[in-house]
A and B are shown apart, each in its own frame.
Chain A
Amino acid sequence: MKRLYNLMLRAGWLVGLILFALAWYAVSAAGLVTEKVLPSPQSVLTKFVEDVVSAQVWQNIGITLQAWFLAVPIGYACGVSIAFALIAVPQVQRAIHPYLVLGNSIPRVVLAPVFILALGLGLSSRVALGVSLIVFPVALGVYGGFKLCEPALLNSVAMFGADRRAQWLHVRLPAALPYLVSNWRLAASLGLLGAIVGEILIAPNGLGWLIRIRSGVFDVSGVFSVLIIILALAMIVNLTTDAIAARLLRWQ
Chain B
Amino acid sequence: MNIAISKEVRLKPVLSISHLSVKFTGGDGSPVLAVDDVSLSLATGEILCIVGPSGCGKSTVLNVVAGMVRSTPSAPVEISGDFHIATQATLRSRQIGYMFQQDTLLPWKTALQNVMLPLTLQGRPGARERAEELLALTGLEGFGGRFPKELSGGMRKRVQMAQLLAQDPEILLMDEPFGALDAQTRALMQQEFLRVWERDRKSIVFVTHDLTEAILLGDRILSMSARPGRIKREVSVGIARPRTVESLVGSDRYAELHHMLWADLQAEAVRTLGGGVR
Contacts and interface: CB of A to CB of B under 8 A. Distances in A.
Interface of A: 150, 152-153, 155-157, 159-162, 166, 170-171, 174-175, 177, 250-252
Q: Is the interface of A mostly helix, strand, loop or mixed?
A: helix
Query: Which bracket fits the contact residues of B?
Result: 20 to 34
A161 B122 contact: yes
Q: Which 9 residue pairs across A and B have the least CB separation, nearest first?
A: A156-B104, A160-B118, A174-B108, A161-B94, A251-B108, A251-B147, A161-B121, A159-B98, A152-B102
A153 B109 CA distance: 12
A156 B107 contact: no
Given A159-B97, A160-B117, A160-B118, A153 B106 contact: yes
Nearest to B167: A160
A171 B106 contact: yes
22 contacts: A150-B102, A152-B102, A153-B104, A153-B106, A155-B66, A157-B106, A157-B121, A159-B94, A159-B96, A159-B98, A159-B167, A160-B118, A160-B163, A161-B93, A161-B94, A161-B118, A161-B121, A161-B167, A162-B121, A166-B121, A251-B108, A252-B107
Given A160-B117, A160-B118, A170-B106, A155 B147 contact: no
A150 B93 CA distance: 23
A157 B114 CA distance: 10
A160 B97 CA distance: 7
Contacts of B106: 153, 157, 170-171, 174
B4 interface: no
Contacts of A174: 106, 108
A154 to B, nearest CB: 10
A64 to B, nearest CB: 36
B147 A250 contact: yes
Given A155-B100, A177-B108, A252-B107, 16 more contacts: A150-B102, A152-B104, A155-B98, A156-B100, A159-B97, A159-B98, A160-B94, A160-B121, A160-B122, A160-B163, A161-B92, A161-B94, A171-B106, A174-B108, A251-B147, A251-B149
